[in-house]
């Protein structure tokens, strides 16, 4: 995106997991009884996206993302993102 003064705005999205592992992460998430949408959220978590970035990807409100996260944490009996990813990644590499 170009600004009126000619400078460019660059959007940086951190990626923590190689793209080849995202499908494995979503597949592993599915083995925990997560819905397809929740598995997508776990995939985006594995990429390091924030709640706001996930909401943009999902084209929904940030509150919807947080609701999905609460349900994911409850289903996996965890307290946060790091625990979620540790469990799902461990399952995907077994």
Cα-based distances in Å from 15 to 19, 21, 94: 9, 11, 23
Cα-based distances in Å from 74 to 28, 51, 90: 16, 17, 18
CATH class, domain 19-92, is mainly alpha
Within 8 A by CB and 6+ apart from 47, the residues are: 13, 14, 15, 16, 17, 22
Segment 18-55, tens digit of pLDDT: 434 566 666 666 678 888 889 889 889 989 999 999 99
Query: Across-strand partners of 8?
Result: 2
Give the start-to-end residue ranges of the domains of the chain: 19-92
**Percent residues over pLDDT 90 in the chain:** 41
Query: Across-strand partners of 2?
Result: 8
The answer to pTM > 0.75 is: no
């Amino acid at each position: 995106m170009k600004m009126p003064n000619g400078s460019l705005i660059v959007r940086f999205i951190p990626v923590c997991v190689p793209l080849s592992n995202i499908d494995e992460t979503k597949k592993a998430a599915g083995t925990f009884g997560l819905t397809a949408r929740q598995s997508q959220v776990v995939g985006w978590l594995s990429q390091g996206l924030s709640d706001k970035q996930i909401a943009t990807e999902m084209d929904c409100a940030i509150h919807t993302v947080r609701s999905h996260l609460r349900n994911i944490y409850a289903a996996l009996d965890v307290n946060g993102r790091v625990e979620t990813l540790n469990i799902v990644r461990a399952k995907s590499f077994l």
